[in-house]
Structure formats: C-alpha cells, structure tokens
Amino acid sequence: MKHITMDITDVLSSTIGDEGIDGTSLREVASKINEFKKSLYKTPYPFMDFQLIRSHLGDIHEITKSLGELKIKNLVLLGIGGSSLGTETIFHALLHPLHNIEEDARGKKPRYFILDNIDPVRIKSVVELVKRDKEETLLIVISKSGETPETMSQFMIFKEILKSSKDYKKRIVIITDKNKGMLREIVKKEGYPSLPVPEGIGGRFSVLTPVGMFPSSVMGLNIEEIINGAQAMSEHIDKADYRKNLAVVLASILYIMDMKGKHIHVMMPYCEKLNAFADWFRQLEAESLGKKGMGPTPLKSTGVTDQHSQLQLYIDGPKDKCITFLYCGGITQPIPNSIPYIDGLDYLGAKDMAELFHAEFLGTRRSLTEAKTPHLTITLNEVSLFNIGALFFLYEMVIAFMGFMYNVDAFDQPAVELGKIYTKAIMGKKGLEDKRLTIEKELKEKRSVIEF
C-alpha cells in the first residue's frame, strides 16, 4: 500500500518549459543531497534518533494515566511557535472537526485551547472559562528555554487561577529543558509533573517528542503509531534510491526553485484536515532557512477557498512562486437534485461533494500548468496517525537537506532571539537596561506618521 505519493510532473521543464526544472539539474542537486544524507545517517541529528524519541513514551503514558483519576474538561496548552504548532496540526488532522463544539463529537476527551498568542482579548476569554472550570482544567506549559516571555506570562496568570483549586499541582504539566531554565527551577521547587524537551531538538523539530506527543496522548491518540509513521519515513529516506527518494527529490526541487527566482513557496492543502500542517510548515521553512540574506518565503493557501482569493495571482501574477498541493480524498456527501427547474445546475445534481472537490483540485492544477506556474502534488491515501507522523518527518528532513544546500544552520534562529531580548528589555528585565534605553530613545524621536 502506498501511503504517500509525490507527483512532480508539473515542475519539470518537459511539462512547463523554462519555468520548470530540467532533469540534469534535478539529478545534480539530488546527488549532492544524497551524499550528505549518507553521512547524516551515520551521525544523525537528535530529531532523527528514534531510540531517543521512544525513550520518553513510558513517562508520557504514566503521566497521562495519572490524569485519568481527575475529571479533565479543558486542556489549555501554553506555548508558541514550535511548542504549539505541531500539536495544533495533530489535533486539527485527527480529532473531529467539531471537537470543541459538540460533546458527542469529542466523547470523553477534553476540549482544547491552544494559546499560541498573547492577544489579551483571547487570553481574557479563556481566563474566564478556566475560572468557571478550574477544578476540571489541565494546564500544559511548554517552553524549551523555560524563559519564553509569552508562555511565562500566561503561566503566571493561569497558575494564579488554578492554585485555589483542589489538587491543582496534578493538573499542571510542564515540558521544558531537562536540566536548566526557569521552568525547570519551578518544577523542582513546586513539584509539578514534568517531561523533557530532549537535548539538541529545537522547538520546530520537536513535534515527535513530549512537546507534541503528551498533549496527543491526553486526547487518547495512539502516539506510538504517529512515531511508527515517522520512523517508516526515516527508513525510506535512508534506503531509497535518490531518484525515488521523497525527501531528497522534494528538497532538491524546492532549492532549485528558489535558485530560479521562485522565492515564494506556497503550500496549498486540498484537505481541510491538513490546513494546520501548512502553518507548521511555514515556521519550519522560514525559521530554519531565512538566514544570511537567503531563504524562500513560505505561504499558506487553502483549496478550494483560495481559488477565489489567490489563484488569480498564482496564474497571472509574477512567476516567483512554486506551489505544493497536499491532497487527500474526502468522505462522500451526495448533492441532491433539489433545484431541478434550473437547467444550469443539472451538472451538480445527483453528484457528490467529494467528486466536486476533486474536480476543483484538478481544475486548479491544470490552470496552473497552462500558466506555466510550477507545482507538485503530495497525496496521502488517508489522514491517519501513521501518515501524519510520516509527513512530519519527511518535511523535517527536507529542511535539514536544504540547510545543507544553503550552507546555513537550520536549527538556530538568531534573529528571533534578538526580538525576544528587546521584549524583555522593554518589560524591565534586569541586565538589559541598555536595550531598554535604545527603545526609549527611538520612541522619543520624530516618526513619520499619517493620521486620519
């Protein structure tokens, strides 16, 4: 059975001419990446170490089991970027679309609220909910450094609410660095259940660690099957011929497209369940490769919705884009012939919504081919635990391979760290007084402002 397939026909010059990639260039880049891959599997990055990944499963299950004696109605996850996007992807893909709305849809699982932003409007609304349900709320706090100001400020708010409830320390689980950081100090002093972010695995590569697996376990998902999918993809990448290797070929295409001036990489899921995966991909590519004046710009688009908002640009705008479709067939939903007196609707009556959805996808793809806009299609046979794990690992390896081609460290984010420093300085963190003065001086200077 083929779990994931990739159709690259419409990025090749044999299909779309000069806007595409010729076979010689593709083989040359793929060969370079393949040689890097061989050395990498001899000394793998930590996120590739499945013995390390699986070593935390016992602790994850133990803490999950301990929560069974508590009545958990709400799961509130505090985390930003890589601390939350993977979990959001898993929940969006594998839980019922109406999970938070319909009790029948979620069964005995809790509602979830992933607070990946600190906009006070949303924070305030969840605060009011938790105040009402504080005896039935599980708080998961995730920060690799243990010092992320957004996450720590949220933690301070919700801890203050929960601490007046019974057994509240059993209902706060902290996921952070095993040995250092403020959150680790708090765990040691206050005694919360805790899981580690493994050494050497940064946030955006951490979805298969406790960062993504513990919240998934709380939701009753089979996390072993997610990891099985990732490990099976790893074995494919390790052993497959480089010309038929999903990660090697995809990394080669995305790199060559950028070198050809296709600097905008659009991910366009034609599958509602995979929409959040595009958000996860945006961080992975942007934060990993946007360095030294280089790096493509990842964008998210949604099929069918963005046929009516973005497709005009993709077809008739600048030739600076490469589009990746994610596709998975949906369930059937018949369209009744309920308006028979209108001749122009007869082509829809007695058909199926899945048939229409597929036709929309094929029509969009063909229009891009005619416009010579390069695009490729990744198709999943189903949105499953196994396939989600495989897709996560596929793109993690793609980005690692592209980092090699750009000659950048795909695992750091120095520009992001500078923004964090200025944030802490503005808020009055000791030791950053010089940065605070810089901001205060800037605010006093005359600025170019237009008013209404």
What the block records as the tokens of 17 is 């001419």
> Of these residues, 2, 239, 308, 444, which one is catalytic?
308
CA pair distance 259, 22, nearest whole angstrom: 13
Burial (CB count within 10 angstroms: exposed 0-12, middle 13-18, buried 19+), residue 27 = middle
CB hemisphere CA count around 295 (13 angstroms): 21
Burial class (CB in 10 A: 0-12, 13-18, 19+), 201: buried
**68's tokens:** 């069974």
DSSP state of 225: H
236 given a catalytic annotation: no
Q: Which of 263, 420, 424, 429 is catalytic?
A: 420
Name the CA dihedral angle for 270, 273, 278, 281, rounded to a multiple of 10 degrees: -130
- How many Cβ atoms from other residues are within 10 Å of residue 157's Cβ? 18
Locate 126 and state its tokens: 């969840």
Q: Which residues contact 151 (CB under 8 A, 6 or more apart)?
A: 78, 79, 80, 83, 141, 142, 143
- How many whole angstroms separate alpha carbon 75 and alpha carbon 142? 13
Q: Does the annotation count 420 as an active-site position?
A: yes
In the numeric block, the tokens 């959040």 are attached to: 276
**Catalytic pick from 287, 300, 321, 375?**
287
What is the C-alpha separation between 283 and 258, in angstroms, rounded?
A: 17
Residue bearing tokens 């503005």: 426
Neighbours of 150 (CB within 10 A): 19
360 in catalytic set = no
Other Cβ atoms within 10 Å of 114 Cβ, number: 21
- Residues annotated as catalytic (active site), given as ranges: 287, 308, 420
